[in-house]
Amino acid sequence: MRTSRSARAGGSAEPLREVRVAALVVGGRAADMAPSGSLRIPVAVLLLLLWGAPWTHGRRSDVRIITDENWRELLEGEWMIEFYAPWCPACQNLQPEWESFAEWGEDLEVNVAKVDVTEQPGLSGRFIISALPTVYHCKNGEFRRYQGPRTKKDFINFISEKEWKSIEPVSSWVGPGSVLMSSMSALFQLSMWIRTYHNYFIEDLGLPVWGSYTVFGLATLLSGLLLGLCMIFVADCLCPSKRRRPQPYPSKKLLLESSQPLKKVEEEQEADEEDVSEEEPESKEGINTDFAQNAIRQRSVSPSLATDKSS
């Protein structure tokens, strides 16, 4: 994962060798064609070309580029990652210091990387980037936000003296590899996708703004309907509903058997009503006879009371 300085220089060894050979060939031809007294100036020029050739080739940067495809490389080893945007003035001021710090990456055994949030919105959501530039330190999958001075010397001391141990790591449930942050990354990518197609509809296809909004509104409704149907289908497969069996149609035999108890109940009710109607006159007659007997007794008692008073 780390690239040595000799290996980085090896990529430009072949072009330098070709330049030097060409310079010697040209110098030899010039020496043959020029007078003996004028050899000093071409030789001096060739020496400058020969030794100045390494500086004519651009040196490859030691800073690695992290994208949505290779960000999981950060989970292994030790890393320092910068999140920046090309339009950010503070990010532009940090770039020389960051490049200088990256040259010490091999000696410090740390990988130095950067992320362009304008090109990688998913990583911006995954790492919750709310300010630019933002620097993270990662050691074997544990992420810590760097909040110290942003100079090469401070970066080197932060790694060499292991100052990162005094910083509380990011919680695992909000870490870049968690389900929550993966969902956040997908949301950021979706927003960038919508923005890209919105600009395409307006600028390339010439649709009005309300036309683009209408397209996205219809797409949202359609996707919601499809998602709802899929959820219903999955729920029905996982938890099927219990279907009630329809009751069989009763046969004539069952109807006759069920009607017989009803007839018996009706006959018993009629018999009870007749008994009640017969008991009512009897009770009335008994009341009348009792009343007559009481009247006769009162009449028989009254004459005896009268004879007692006369005596």
pLDDT tens per residue across span 290-306: 555 665 655 554 555 44
Which has the minimum average pLDDT: 47-61, 105-119, 175-189, 221-235? Answer: 47-61
Do 192 and 123 fall into the same domain? no
Residue 5 has pLDDT above 70, yes or no: no
CB distance 84 to 118 below 8 Å: no
Contact between residue 143 and residue 136 where contact means Cβ atoms under 8 Å apart? yes
* pLDDT (average), residues 182-196: 76
pLDDT digit string (tens) for 82-130? 999 999 999 999 999 999 999 999 899 999 999 999 888 888 888 888 8
Q: Which amino acid type is present at position 233?
A: F
Note down the domain range covering 41: 5-56
Of 188, 204, 238, the last residue of a domain is 238
Q: Which of 171, 198, 227 is the last residue of a domain?
A: 171
- Asked if residue 52 and residue 71 are part of one domain, the reply reads no
The candidate with the shortest Cα–Cα distance to 191, out of 132, 133, 89, 117, is: 117
- Residue 280 domain-assigned (yes or no): no
**Phi, psi dihedrals of residue 255, rounded to the nearest 5°:** -65, -40
| Residue 15: pLDDT over 90 | no
My answer on whether 94 and 132 are in the same domain is: yes
Q: Is the dihedral of CA 126, 130, 133, 136 positive or negative?
A: negative
pLDDT for 209-268, tens place per residue? 888 888 888 888 888 888 888 888 888 888 877 666 666 555 555 555 555 565 666 677
Both 83 and 120 in one domain: the answer is yes
Whether the per-residue pLDDT at 154 is higher than 90: the answer is yes
What pLDDT is attached to residue 65? 93
- Note the pLDDT of residue 219: 84
Residue 153 in this model has a pLDDT that exceeds 90: yes
pLDDT band at residue 285 using 50, 70 and 90 as cut-offs: low
Determine, yes or no, domain membership for 88.
Answer: yes
Query: How much is the pTM?
Result: 0.52
Please state the rounded mean pLDDT for residues 127-151. Answer: 91
Answer yes or no: are the C-beta atoms of 176 and 184 closer than 8 Å: no
C-alpha 128/C-alpha 284 separation (Å) is: 100
Please, which pLDDT band fits residue 26 given cuts at 50, 70 and 90? very low
In a domain, 275, yes or no: no
- Number of compact structural domains in the chain: 3
* % of the chain at pLDDT higher than 90: 24
State which of 121, 153, 171 marks the end of a domain.
Answer: 171
Q: How many CA atoms lie within 13 A of 197 on its CB side?
A: 12
> What's the pLDDT at 83?
95
Range of lowest pLDDT (16-30, 113-127, 151-165, 200-214): 16-30
- Please state, in angstroms and rounded to a whole number, the distance separating the CA atoms of residues 125 and 189: 9
Instruction: Say what the pLDDT of residue 128 is.
Output: 85
Report how far residue 268's alpha carbon sits from residue 264's, in angstroms, rounded to the nearest whole number: 6
The answer to whether position 295 is within a domain reads no
CATH no. for residue 165? 3.40.30.10
Clarify whether residues 85 and 124 are in a common domain.
yes
State residue 87's pLDDT score: 93
Whether the Cβ atoms of residue 43 and residue 51 lie closer than 8 Å to each other: no
Active site residues: 88, 91
Domain membership of residue 14 (yes or no) is yes
Q: What are the φ/ψ torsions at residue 308 (nearest 5 degrees)? A: -65, -40
Q: How far is CA 130 from the centre of its chain?
A: 18
Does some domain include residue 40? yes
Question: Quick one: three-class SS letters along the chain?
Answer: CCCCHHHHHHCCHHHHHHHHHHHHHHHHHHHHHCCHHHCHHHHHHHHHHHHHHHHHCCCCCCCEECCCCCHHHHHCCEEEEEEECCCCHHHHHHHHHHHHHHCCHHHHCCEEEEEECCCCHHHHHHCCCCCCCEEEEEECCEEEEECCCCCHHHHHHHHHCCHHHHCCCCCHHHCCCCHHHHHHHHHHHHHHHHHHHHHHHHHHCCCCHHHHHHHHHHHHHHHHHHHHHHHHHHHHHHCCCCCCCCCCCCCHHHHHHHHHHHHHHHHHHHHHHHHHHHHHHHHHHHHHHHHHHHHHHHHHHHHHHHHHHHC
Q: What is the mean pLDDT of residues 29-58?
A: 45
95 shares a domain with 150 = yes
Q: Are residues 148 and 222 in the same domain?
A: no
Quick check: is 302 in a domain? no
Residue 153 located in a structural domain: yes
